[in-house]
Amino acid sequence: MLETARLFLSATANHPISAPLNLKLNSGDRALLILYDQLNLEAFPKELLAQKPLIIFVESRKYAMVIPHHKQKLVHILSTQRHFAIACHQQGFPVLNLFTEGFHADAIDSLLAEYPHLALTYMQPSEWDTRSQFESLAHKFNGRVQKIANSFFIANAEKYKPKIKKGYRLETFYRELRKQTGYLMEGDKPMGGSWNYDKENRKSLPKKIVIPEIPEIAPDAITQEVIDLVKNYLPDAFGNLDRFSYAVTREQALDLAKLFMQSRLANFGAYEDAIKTGEPFLFHSVLSVYLNNGLLMPQEICEMAIAAYEDQNNLDQNNLVPLNSVEGFIRQILGWREYIRVYYEAQMPTARTQNYFGFTNNLPQLYWNADTDLACMRDAVTNVLNYGYSHHIQRLMVLSNFSNLTNTDPRQLNRWFWLAYIDAYEWVELPNVLGMSTFADGGILASKPYVSGGNYINKMSDCCAKCKYDVKEKVGDQACPFNYLYWHFVDQHRDSFAENGRVSLMVNTYDKKTDPDKQAIRDSAVKFIASLDSDKMVQPLYRDLAR
């Protein structure tokens, strides 16, 4: 069966849409388009699937090229979609896998033009541009194109959209969703008496702790075919493709989720904010990649975590899940992930252009090649090059922090995150970068800019011990650049701190420094920023993204 399906796919994957497809269609036949990040039949209406519609997939070259993504991300998108197409075919659906030089909607446009009797259903795309393209298409083929709501999320975006403004914070949203879903609730009270156990979740990593390995999934023939395709088409795209070990089917992704619940969830909470050199994953789930393309549904992952907490008998006694871990994990998915999505729905398209601090510096070259003496930055970028992944605290407190402190245009950082990460789809990546981590929206999503000096990184990681710079030095060539850059930032952007009681203390602390100390901070910061090789993009493929 697999072989038939593969032959079937091979025959259609490179079939130019302009050539006749010779589909045998009856008047009123309905096709269902499934997009690259909607790869789960559970999310589609049962009545629609019962009619066994022709399921259409599109491989869009333009989508891959507008921002040439990390090689592993391209492999992941294409291979997962092909595996899913085969799974649909095996379940008895007729399947059409189209290839187009244009966008997804361009392929469908040609198909609808060629087959005037064909009607199409599509699910609301999660990304803005794909959504706009399909809206135009629906307008053009008025009456033949039907849109259904996107059911890959838990929160009702329409209900929460109007609340997204300054002052509305995650905590309020999260508590409402806890009540709505009943997750970790005892009646109308939070389990354990508290909504939030963050205080227990900021531990640094003990030296001897064992970090369970995540099994590598060897590429099968389909993935290998796609790896070769990406290597040939986009040899200069960002990232390494020497190894690819992500799951490409729902079954594989579910196995990884189960393993996370058994072996890493227990320590997820305590070490959520820790960083260890050479350990990209620590106790994180690495499930965003599968949640974001539909292989896994957010509800089922939350419920698996709650089940692991409630049914501890099935767990190894060394891996008992404490409440702070399961609550922390649920807050990431039910809270942050859903909140971020509602923010995107509420703030697009203006969210794309925000630059609250008016920063104009280009993205430093080290984001492209990890070529830096700063151990924390080198480790974070190396992880991204090798896996298209780094965990949250490296994204926030290392990569974004450095970008903020060096006055980098946040829109450039935004594009880098979008292309560089395997889990980056615009709806989730953009709010995290332009809302949360760079304060580019002026404080709608976050209450303060995420910036810190070297002490924070030293406390949470082992990087500083391996660094050429000295985290204890405050200014000068040997000092950790995060130190003086941080105080320089506090001084430059004192107004953005003033509204926030806790961090406005930092402005007071800066003001108490002596004039020579302040001058030394300024001199070190200006010299360091000028030394960054920010004007040249390393890879020609990305030069146009500089502005």
Question: What does the binding site for ligand FAD look like in residue numbers (CB under 6 A)?
Answer: 284-288, 291-292, 329, 332-333, 336-337, 340, 391-392, 395-396, 400, 417, 421, 423-424, 428-429, 432-433, 436-437
Q: What type of residue is 405?
A: L
For ligand FAD, which is the closer residue by CB, 134 or 336?
A: 336
CA dist., res. 485 & res. 453, Å (int):
7
The least distance separating ligand FAD from the CB of residue 506, rounded to whole angstroms, comes to 21
For ligand FAD, which is the closer residue by CB, 226 or 436?
A: 436
DSSP state of 355: -
Please give the full DSSP string across 58-86, using - where no structure is assigned: EEEHHHHHHTT--HHHHHHHHHHHHHHHH
CA dist., res. 191 & res. 185, Å (int):
5
Structure tokens at 230: 């990406």
User: Which residues are CB-contacts of 465 (< 8 A; sequence separation ≥ 6)?
Assistant: none
Cβ-based neighbour number of residue 540 at 10 Å = 8
Cβ-based neighbour number of residue 242 at 10 Å = 6
For ligand FAD, which is the closer residue by CB, 359 or 510?
A: 359
- Tell me: cis bond preceding 431? Omega within 30 of 0 counts: no
For ligand FAD, which is the closer residue by CB, 10 or 355?
A: 355
Buried b (16+ CB within 10 A) or exposed e, 151-180: ebbbbebeebeeebeeebebeebbeebbee
Contact call for residues 223 and 248 (beta carbons, < 8 A): yes
For ligand FAD, which is the closer residue by CB, 60 or 292?
A: 292
Angle of the 221-233 helix axis to the 71-90 helix axis, nearest 10 = 140
For ligand FAD, which is the closer residue by CB, 126 or 292?
A: 292
For ligand FAD, which is the closer residue by CB, 338 or 462?
A: 338
The least distance separating ligand FAD from the CB of residue 430, rounded to whole angstroms, comes to 8
Contact call for residues 330 and 184 (beta carbons, < 8 A): yes
| H helix or E strand, kind and range, residue 56 | strand 54-60
The least distance separating ligand FAD from the CB of residue 480, rounded to whole angstroms, comes to 21
The least distance separating ligand FAD from the CB of residue 472, rounded to whole angstroms, comes to 27
For ligand FAD, which is the closer residue by CB, 5 or 545?
A: 545
